[in-house]
Each structure stands twice: as C-alpha cells, then as structure tokens.
Structure 1
C-alpha cells in the first residue's frame, strides 16, 4: 500500500465536509491535485505567462518551452513515436469528437459500420451516432458477458469487412472492466478498420504503450490524473493525422491565409487553433512527472488492494448489489453498486453528511444503465491517495444509510 505521505501532498484532503474529514471517493469523475501540480501551474503564471509560438521575447520563449516540453512528456508517457502525434485538446470528449468529425466524416461512407460497446461513456457514443446518421452508416454494439466484460468472440461477431471504425473504452467508468484493447485492435486491423481507444479511466491508473497496443487513436483527460481541468490529449498515428482535416479554424493552426483559401501548419499545430491551454499543459506535464515518480505499476497495485478490500467489506452488507467483474485483477479502481431500496442519490446524500464523496446517477452511460436494468447506480472510485481507512468509513456510512432508510 502507498503510504500516508502521499495523502499529505494533496491539500484538499485536509479539508472538512459537514464538519467531518473529507473522504474523497469520486476520482473517476475528477482526481484531486497534488501540491507539485498546483505549484507548477502557479509558477508558470508567476514567472513565464505569455502566449506560445508567437513572440520572440523571453517570456514567450519560456512559455513555448514549457508547453512543448509537456507535449514531449506525454509522448514518453504513452510511448508514442514522436511528439507530433500528440494533440492537446480540452479533454477526452474533445479528442473523441475530433476523431469522429475529422477522420470519421472523411472515411465513413453509406453502408459502412462503426462498432462500439454497451459500456461506453456518452463521449464515445454520441460522436459516432452523429457520424453514422450523417453518412448513413450502421452503428453496432459489442455484447457484454453477464459480468460486464467483452470477449474477443463478441468483438468478432460485430466487426466485419464493412467496419471502418472500432472505438472502445480501455476501462469502463461504471463497471471498472479493463478491456483487451490490444487484441481488439488486432481484430479491427484484420478487417481494415481503425482502432480508437477511450483511455480516460485508464491513463491515470495503468501504464499505457500505444505502440504495443497498436491503436490508431487514443484519448484521455488530464483532470482524472492529477492535472488541471480543461486539458486533454489525442494521440494519433502520424499517417492518419497527416491525412485528416482540422475541425477548428483560426490563428496559429494556419500556414498561409489568402482572401479565398488557406493552408494548414504541420502536425501537431494544425489541430490546435487559437491560444492553447498552456497552463493546463504545464500542469499535465507536472502530473506526469508526479505519477511516474510514484510509478504507475505501484498505483495499479495499490488500487487493486483497495478494490479487493472494498469488495470483501461491501459484500458483508445485506442487500448490496455490485456490478462488473468481482476479480480485482480484471477491473480498474472503482466499484459501482446499489443498496436495496435506497435510491443512489439518497445514499450519496447521507454519505456526504458524513464527509464521504461518492458518485450517483447514470454516470454518462445511459445505454449501459439500460443493459444493467437500472435507472441509476452509486459509484465509489479510488486513487493513489485513498486508504483502507477511507473504505472502512465508507462501509460504515453504507450501514448507517441502510439503517436510516430502514
């Protein structure tokens, strides 16, 4: 288990909620930020705040170096071939929309297929719905096992020679399921399709190697991995990004602008129109430094221990229903559940009264809720700063809610 020294590096964990020490179990929605990231962003604003790629003055050069330095940290973090394959965006949603609106609209034709799964976040459903509607293509869904997992046979049953795009979450934000994205990519490529990976719930917790996975695109957000909100990443293979058209136009993404026509800058800047999210990128670079110093393998091991402990404790409560695979080795650091005859929002409210923050609702995954035959669920999600003591307080809060609602 990671030590309490980790907790000391997150200032917000010293706060109180409703007079109780905060127990933050909502990191799947957004993680808390360590002092190192807070200071990195503050240092940028205090010492080198300027626009990038524009001026020749010293502050502009310092800002550009920090911004492009963060891009190279991301490249190394996911083992991309080159920094040009790293596009900074506002987050996973923007990244997936960029792929859909550029690559999807350019390459999908009438009668083609797009394949996703029932466990996808709305950000990995709606963009593909729009492409399918616009291009008169077919949107198909990979079936799930009873435990909420994807089998390769289920993938093979949906992916055909008509399939142009396969887009799947690396880890589910509801079920916690870790999907075999490398093997799914092999199936997609065997049929001539590209593989898109939504890594929003994986990048904070698992070591990602895009060359090993051999995905064509990969998207993730900074705010779930200790970085500021508003910064995200789209990785794409150079050949694909080179062939794609930008979807946002304006300053800094152009090479030449005439009265009636324009040309675009080279990668990655043709996809980064306007003033970029400079401070966010600096914060993301600092977050990557922080996580790699601790070690992604250590974080994953810590979360597995927490999940195993939480499942064991929660299963002792009568009337609790857990969703997703119960084997901690096959899931990310979150547990989605319902407590019999207690609405998830009521449960979350009672827990909040005791300083415990969890998520309640459909988790931006309504098709999955329908598959689960639930209108809403509760979710506790863990990260490197959580402890078994947090889980003990959480479980006591569940027991209290059960008694309160009788």
Structure 2
C-alpha cells in the first residue's frame, strides 16, 4: 500500500450531528468496528441552539464544543477535507492528496450556505444592521440588534427551499417581535417577512397557530419575495418576485435590521461527484438511505436527496437506520431498517412557548407525545422546555453518544429481499 494511502472498514465523511451520531450508534452495536471520520473543523456546533442565542436565551459558547471532545473515543478522526470520491474503487481522495480506502462509506457533510449568492451580503454581514442566526458568530448580533431597535423597519428573509430547518427564518422573527412586544415598542417596529415560497410553513396543520402570531405581531407577509442584493452602508435590500406572466420585478426596501437566511445547496465536492443526483444531492433510497448506485455507500443528514426536513431531529432518526444498514451490508445484522422521513421543527413563537411541528414523509403528523400531554399544533410551555432544556441534553449526552433515545428504528424489512 502506498505511503499516502490508508484503509478503514467504515469511513464517515462529515463529523457534524449526522456523522458523529452514526459513528456512535455503530460502536454501540459493535465496539470492535474500525471507523474513521473525516472532517477539517476544529469545533462541533449544536446548531439548533443558535435560534436561542439570537434571542438572548443561550450563550453562544454553550452551543460549541471542541471536535476532539465529541468524536467517539474508539473512532479515528482524520482532520482533513475530501476533494473527490472514487466509489468504483472504494476510496476517497483528500485535499492533501492522501487516499483513504474503505469497505463501507457513510457520507454526511452537511450543506453549503451560499452567502455569495446574494449580491453585497458578505460585505454587510455583522454590520449595518445585517445579521443571521445561521452563523454562530452572528447570532449574538441578532440579539444585539433586537435589543437596540426602538423603532423602524425589520426585514426577515427566507430563500427558496430546500434549506436546513425551514422554520428557523421565522423563529428569529417571532422571538424578535416578542421582545419588542414585551418592551412596549412593537407598534414602533414595522416587521416584514420576505419568503421566497408561497406558504408560511410546508405542513398545513401548523399554519393556523403560526398565523395567530403573524396577526399578533402585525407582520407583513410577502410571499414569493426573494432577497437578491444587500447594500449595507445604505441599509437597503433588493427583492425579486416572479409575476404571473413569468416576468420578474424588483423592489428595494430600506431597513434598520435585516435578518438573512442564505440560499443553500449540497457542498461543491458532493455536487461534482459520482454520488450526486441531478440536483446535486447524495442520491439515496429514502427508506434505507443506501446509495441508489453504490451498495456500500450510505448518505444521511442535510446533503442527502431525501425529501424530509433538514433538521438535527431528522439526523437523530437517520443515524440508527444507517448504523443498522451498514452492519447489514457487512453481514453483521440480519434485517434492513427503514427511515420514515421524520423531521421536527420547534417553532419558537414567543419566549416560553413553542409550536412543535413533527412530521414524516408527505407531511404526515408524527407526534412523539400523546395529544393530551402535548399538542404540537398549539403553542405550549412544555415544548419550550423540551427545546431549551431537554433537547440539548438529548443531543450532547444521547445522540452523540450512541444512545438512541426516541430514535430506535421501528420498521424493518428482510435484508435478503433488499440486497
């Protein structure tokens, strides 16, 4: 074997929520497995917490831990970036030229936040009232702007789907509006929600409760409105809207605060690889999460082609399915597990209350609790407690440790008929 080549039984690309949870679930099933994770980052983030950082509820440092501290002890961490995949020969090439071979490959690198897709945005972020909870270093600025704004115009944006946590753009807005309401200045702030989509939320059952807050906060909903440019020094945002006849019109809105969610896509090294489908996502079966072309490759998390909501809750359910099915491929487990498309979006409609959206493929409701205890279609304090207190603990001490609390795969099929 050449000096710049190594080999592992299971190779995982990406040490975010999906990658570490999959490694931990595999090792919980079989501690003798040879597993390596590839990720260049020094820090691992609990991204669902950034909404609450932006509302002054969490401290930013509570959402970050060193990568070394969360990688499972029995797994090897390869601190590098992948440049290309060679699934025909069961290997990946790193950006330093090193070649890593594998028996089984799990791909979960997350997605790309395309800040450059909006003209002038990168130069404006973090100043001139331009912020985003989609970056760890900017979420505190969201809270600073929210506190500082006494009167004026606040714009919140949502790009075309798919994006990670489709509810996050409006979560930031509701929490800011709630602060202004509690500070008796809501009537002095004009709030607009520029949503490139045509609906407030993709699962209709949760829309009525959200609309109550839209009315309560007097939010101006602007559907089909897509942010295309930002002029920070002038505090102006340009939006494009497609008209019925197919033509496009642009409008310029002045702002005092602008919360931006950037367009999102699969990372370039995924889109340009043999693993990608026509849209650039990792081309996997939506149930088994096995690659449609390469049987020893699995994909999960935000970069996969599955139609579920791209949330940490989805990765929490996907990781045990992939762990099981990798062991099936290694002939160490008998039956394939199936992922049902579960995703969850705790919609923070005010400080202390959440509409807990839980659903599977096709927008079918999938509540984790009986309705008498917690009706996710209504704002509840119990759902807030889950978001602010229970779920971070579930993440750090459960999901990343291979403890599959509320996440064991339920539906299985005979591997002999799916191989």
Considering the TM-score relative to the shorter chain, is it more than 0.5? Answer: no
**Structure 2 length-normalised TM:** 0.30
Higher strand share: 2
Q: TM-score, normalised by structure 1?
A: 0.31
